[in-house]
Amino acid sequence: MGAFSAGLIAGHYWEKMFSKLKSKGKNKIMELASFRKMYDKNSFLHCLDGRVKTVLFLSGIIITTFLSHWYLVTFLWVLSLFGYYTLHLPWKRLVKRLLIPFGIAWIVFISMLFTNGSHVLTYIPFGSYHLNIYKEGLDLGILLMLRIMAAVSLACVLSFCTPMIEILETLRIFKMPSIIVDLADMMYRYIFIIEETGKSMRHAQLSRMGYESSWFHQIKDTAEIAVYVIIQSLDRSIRVYNAMLSRGYNEDSIEAKFFTYPVPSKDFGLGVVGVILLVVLIIANVLI
């Protein structure tokens, strides 16, 4: 009777697991089909030459860090959001990527409120002590938060509309050291491998009733998974580097050109307009 009950429990558990995997598979297929449908619309940014996009967006990210007026930074942020809107992608994708930077931006904002400035706006009492909120800290905190969000939004839009190979090859054209470009390429590739390894181990843990343990043991299991993933990634990186050396890899070696055609005149003209806009922002930041 005990074996029969255990069989029923195990059967019920595996039925739930398979139904979850089945629903996840359906959702994944629908998501890919939806993305393909939206990508096939050939938005303006998708059609723009990758070299032009890379130069404009990376220049915008750098300029954002130097702007000292919040409304100029807000203009760039709104411009990046409009660019994402033209991609016809779900806003949920962008929101997910902005969650962590948004949290960091809030930490920076809060820290600036209490640590920067001399003119006290108000204070928060804590018994016999109080925390002063400074006007200069409020202004600087808002500016830094907007800078973070604008820069990350520009980077996200660039990654959504431009293949990574085009971004890296554009950096190579502008004489970025080959070792940095190669490392960035491998990092981009193995981030997804590490993520997939972590997910596989997590699924293996759940299939062995790992979710029914205590909170402390779940934290411990998660830490063990993280350590194992790091060790595996280090081992894989060593093997990949040795494989590259065995095939004659050299950072000074001459590679075949990725871009075999010049920038189209129309795209080049749009790039010039974008550069002029960025220059106007710099001038406005200095004069205002």
Sign of CA dihedral 75, 80, 86, 92: negative
Residue with tokens 């993933």: 229
The amino acid occupying position 96 is K
**Residue 32 within any structural domain of the chain:** yes
- Name the band, by pLDDT with cuts 50, 70 and 90, for residue 172: confident
36 lies in which domain range? 1-40
**Residue 251 within any structural domain of the chain:** no
Euclidean distance between CA atoms 69 and 23, whole angstroms: 48
Residues 6+ away with beta carbon under 8 Å from 65: 147, 151
- Tens of pLDDT along 138-159? 999 999 999 999 999 999 999 9
Token couple for 178 = 């080959």
**Residue 200 within any structural domain of the chain:** no
**Residue 283 within any structural domain of the chain:** no
Token couple for 13 = 């558990």
Give, as one character, the DSSP assignment of residue 252.
T
Strand bridging mode 120-126 / 129-134? antiparallel
**Residue 17 within any structural domain of the chain:** yes
Q: Which of 10-14, 39-43, 148-152, 205-209 has the highest mean pLDDT?
A: 148-152
Among the ranges given (19-23, 133-137, 197-201, 252-256), the one the predictor scored with the smallest mean pLDDT: 19-23
pLDDT at 80: 93
- Name the band, by pLDDT with cuts 50, 70 and 90, for residue 211: low
- Tens of pLDDT along 86-140? 888 899 989 988 998 899 999 999 988 888 878 888 888 877 788 888 888 899 9
**Residue 117 within any structural domain of the chain:** no
Query: How distant, in Å, are the alpha carbons of 108, 121, 191, 232 from that of 118?
Result: 18, 9, 44, 51
**Residue 139 within any structural domain of the chain:** no
Token couple for 88 = 């016809």
Tally the domains of the chain: 1
**Residue 5 within any structural domain of the chain:** yes
pLDDT at 145: 92
- The number of beta carbons lying within 10 Å of the beta carbon of residue 250 is 9
